[in-house]
Structure 1
Amino acid sequence: MRSALLADAPAIREPLHAPVAHVSRGGVIEGIHYGSVVVLGGDGEVRFSVGDIEAACYPRSALKPVQAVAMVRAGLPLDGELLSLAMGSHSGEERHLAGSRRILELAGLTEDDLCNVPDLPYDPAVRDRWVRQGRPPSRLAQNCSGKHAAMLYLCTLAGWPLETYLDPAHPLQTTIADVVAELTGQHIAHVTVDGCGSPLFSVSLRGLAGAAARIATAAPGTAECRVADALRGHPEMASGTGRDVAELMRSVPGLLAKDGFEGVQIAALPDGRAVAVKIADGANRARVPVTTAALARAGVDPRLLTGVEGDPMTGGGRPVGSIRPVAALDPTAVPTSA
């Protein structure tokens, strides 16, 4: 997309977040999570918002579908499970490690060529087994290994340098940056380094929701459609067994969804309705109920969202409270009398 067609970069400022979720215990509000939420209609216009949807924010791993679109456009020949893994924040299950190895094998490379940080598996149960077995942190176990393997594979096909593939000035990363700007419809506000070591691009929450909508509505045969089909068809490869983002896609027909660290979530429907969520304190526990409330605001049948609303607050091993979206966000909330 030509630069003249892009909106200005979002302002870098302290976001004007607002309350989005209440933490209640025994009927008393024990805590409040602040954040921002945007709901887009099928026409791309804002239908509902809370907080600051125009300030610059880091999408973290919620940007991975956009990065995948850029790589597919540039010639990455993956589809299905392996393409889903290429945009994954995986749990570190053996199928995830095997998939990352397979991508590296296709490139004629090994784990030693990865430049992401060694880590233990993300899933607690998988991580505990890993530790009991005496296995050390590894680059394959780190939750972004599929993305890094795919980046290296594309570099081998394009003839780009391998050792510097994470440099923001590398052809791979400038290609990705161009597509981030195109799909979000705005110039990038700032570039820094994500937790895994790859460049991280700052955009607005509204722009992020727009990018998700463009991928979810893409025509067959496009890179965007290939990415959407892979993620919808193989949600556990981009996450893991029992992960809420996979369950969300299984529960809502046609939904494309991706989570990110620091409380970020995108979700988009095939008709263009989309939501993006940022929890100010990065709390994962608030991300799920706020996202489901935003989807209900977008018109998703709340019955489809039952069971994907987050974990209860417990006391003595039994439920004693909940984390609920604030009434202004929750379309199912019963209005109170003045």
Structure 2
Amino acid sequence: MMETKFFSNYSLVDWSDLLLNFDSTINYTSWFLNYVEILNTSSEIQNHTFVLYAENIPIAIVPLYIEKINNTLQISMGQEPIYAPIFNKNMSISNSKKYFNYLIKKINDIALQNKCLLARFHYSPLLSYHFLPIEYLNSGYVEGIFYPDWYIFKSKFSFVLNLANNKEYIFNKIRKGHRSNIRQTKKIANLIVIDANSFSTEIFNRYVSLYYKVKGNKRNFEAFKLDEIAIKSGLQFIMICEFDNKFVGAVAFHTYSNKARYNSSIQLYNDNVRIHPTHFLLWSGIEYLKDKGCELLEFGEQVVENKQFKVSLKEKNLSHFKSGWGCDLISNIKVQKEFKNV
């Protein structure tokens, strides 16, 4: 007998215990599932995440959100694809596929009940899924998301760094120019780390001020409150570059279950000083993760010029920057289904 239980019916402790049955990333933690709601209040996002059970055994976790975009509803998170369902790590591939059709029907039913125009899902390059994208494609989904015209939708691969290698090997695989920037900045800048063991409200508030100075008012304060919780819980750490007693750059990393992701960066530019905070902080983050026993670090998507998408110079430069860290290219497929009868 199969049944479902919604995320809202779990305590924080119960959800943490549930995750022990799955190979997951931070994107399936209760912290992140709540974080998505806080980040997307403007789209009136609703959390419909559920867990599939069979004979009281948790089979799959299915993150699911419904939000309003241009006055119509869709299954996505900030218009981005939602992370695909994951299956119990003790389950065989054949058994996983057995339940997948049920999940697809459940998602379709939720979409139709709520009159959703479309649904979007994303395969994390940090996980080995129990099923292939073809399972989605056989159910009416297609690869390729063409709107909005965003960087992430132009990518089928992500840069992932294998941290099993020693530091010297990893450093030598980094592009020569990146290595030079790291060395130069290391000579003149100070490194400040905000993590669970070193959290300081004063330092964190200075980081928030730097963020607003560089990015403007793009995030609400509630999101930074959740960042603070993540740091204190060991789910996030922030590397800060200090020069001349001022914060001039910061990089935030998400981490869970020995897998990490380069989440965001900010940087003040000074044409009068040869300093490269992001290079310095990314390398410092790699060293930190190595020391913590982390296995993989995702740098983000790769984009290349092709017939399907127009790639801007800024996007090319960003992809070129990420390609210089000695990473492997791992499949990062996104799929979408449009519901024509809505």
> What's the TM-score bracket when you normalise by the shorter of the two chains?
under 0.3
| Bigger CA radius of gyration | 2
State the TM-score, normalized to the length of structure 1: 0.25
Bigger proportion of residues as strand: 2
